[in-house]
Amino acid sequence: MEKRRNFKPEEKAKIVIEVLKEERTLNEIAAEYEIHPNQLSRWKAEFLSNAGRAFSKETDEVEKVKQSYEKEKDELLRQIGQLSYEVTWLKKNLANSKSHEDRINMIEKDNKKLSISRQAKLLSLNRTSLYYKPVPVDGEELLIKRLIDEIYTRHPEYGYRRMPTILNRDYHTGINRKRTRRYMREMGIHGFCPGPNLSKRLHSKYVYPYLLRGLNIDRPNQVWSIDITYCRMKHGFMYMTAIIDWYSRYIVGFSLSNTLDKTSVVETIKKAIKKHGTPEIMNSDQGSQFTSDEYINILKSNSIKISMDGKHRALDNQRIERFFRSYKWEKLYLEEYENGHQLYKITREYIEYYNNVRPHQSLDNQTPAQVYYGRIYNLSTAV
C-alpha cells in the first residue's frame, strides 16, 4: 500500500493557482500531482473562501496574538526557572538555619493548597517524622539519669564500665553496662579515661590539634572554650551550651536546648561574637557538634583558630568543666524547676552571679567580670 502524500501549505497554494489559471483540465493537474480531482476542488473552494483575509487586518492581529503568546510563554518559563532556583536556595538555607523542631512547627496540617507531603519536602523533613509521637520517659529512667549526672559531675573520669558498678553498689538500680552506655550517650557525656585503639587516627571529618599546650594565655579573648552539659528536668532533660573566656573565667555566652544538636552551638557562638568580639582561638572536645561543617565554617569565617582536646583528656578543657561543676552543685541541684523557662531563668541568674559576684581564688578573689573588662580596658588605654 502506497503511503499517502502530504502537501505543505505553500505547495497547495501553488497547485490551486494552476487550477485557477484554467490552462489545463482538473484531471491533468490532478494526474501530474497524483491528487484526486475531488481533493483539488475542495482546495480551490477553500482557497477562494479565505482569499479575502489576505487583504484584511485579521492576519496582522493573529500574528500579534501569536507573538504576544510566545512572549508570555518565554516570561513564564523564565519565572518557573527562577522560582525553582529560589525554592532550592530557600530549602538549603532553611535546613541549615532552623532546627528540626522549628521546621516541624511550620507544618500547616489544615492547609488545603499544600499537602503535608509537599510541605515536608519544602522544609526538608522526613514525612514520617511528622506522625511520630515520642514515648514519654519513665520515672525510673529519669531517676537513674539524675544519679548518673550527679556521679559524673563529681567524677568525670567514670565511664560506662565503672558507672554501673557505682549505681548498683550505692543505689541498687540493677542497671547493666549496655543500658548505662545508652543513657550516657543520650546525655552527651563520656568518661575521661584512656580507651582501646589509642594509636588509631580518628575518623571524624574535621579533627584539629590541641593548640593550648604550652601556650601563655595572658589576656581576655585570646582563648575561649565551648562545651555542652546535661541539665536534668522533672520530666526529662535539656542541654546547656556555654562558652568561657579561658583567661578571666568569664562566661561570654550560653544557651539551652531540648536537643543535642549543632544549631544551638552555632547560635551561641554567633551571639557571643556579636556581644564580645572574636577570640583568637576556640577550644572544644571532639564531639559531633564540634566537628560539623556548620561549627567549622562559623569559626573559619571569623578567622578563629580551631583547637580540640585530645581524646579522653579531661584537663584539656578544664575551665568549662569546672564551671559546669560549680553551676550544678551551687545552683542546679538546689533548685526546683518545672520547665525550660524556669531553667533558663535560674541559669541566667547563676551566670550573672558567677560573672559579677562570685570571687575566684585563682583570680586573687576578683570576679571574672573584673578581670575580663578590667583587662580589656587596660589594654585599650595602653594602645
- With 60 as the cut, is the pLDDT of residue 381 above it? no
Reported pTM: 0.56
- With 80 as the cut, is the pLDDT of residue 63 above it? no
Residue 201 CA to residue 95 CA, distance in Å, equals 31
Least confident of 111-120, 157-166, 245-254, 366-375: 111-120
State the pLDDT at residue 247. 94
| 142: nearest Cα among 30, 46, 230 | 230
Stronger pLDDT, 190 or 34, i.e. the higher one: 34
State the pLDDT at residue 312. 47
State the pLDDT at residue 382. 38
- With 70 as the cut, is the pLDDT of residue 4 above it? no
Cα→Cα distances 383→37, 276, 277, 374, Å = 106, 19, 18, 15
**Using one digit for the tens of pLDDT, what is the confidence trace for 327-360?**
988 888 888 778 888 899 999 999 999 999 999 8
Average the pLDDT over 72-77 and give the result.
Answer: 83
Least confident of 107-116, 144-153, 239-248, 296-305: 107-116
Hey, CA dihedral for 225, 226, 227, 231, is it positive or negative?
A: positive
State the pLDDT at residue 205. 58
Stronger pLDDT, 329 or 126, i.e. the higher one: 329
- With 50 as the cut, is the pLDDT of residue 194 above it? no
State the pLDDT at residue 306. 93
State the pLDDT at residue 69. 78
State the pLDDT at residue 345. 92
Cα→Cα distances 137→26, 144, 151, Å = 96, 11, 21
Cα→Cα distances 298→165, 262, 265, 267, 270, Å = 41, 11, 10, 10, 8
State the pLDDT at residue 15. 85
Burial class (CB within 10 angstroms; exposed 0-12, middle 13-18, buried 19+) of 63: exposed
| 283: nearest Cα among 271, 293, 269, 294 | 269
Q: For residue 200, what pLDDT band results from cuts at 50, 70 and 90?
A: very low
Residue 149 CA to residue 189 CA, distance in Å, equals 9
State the pLDDT at residue 303. 95
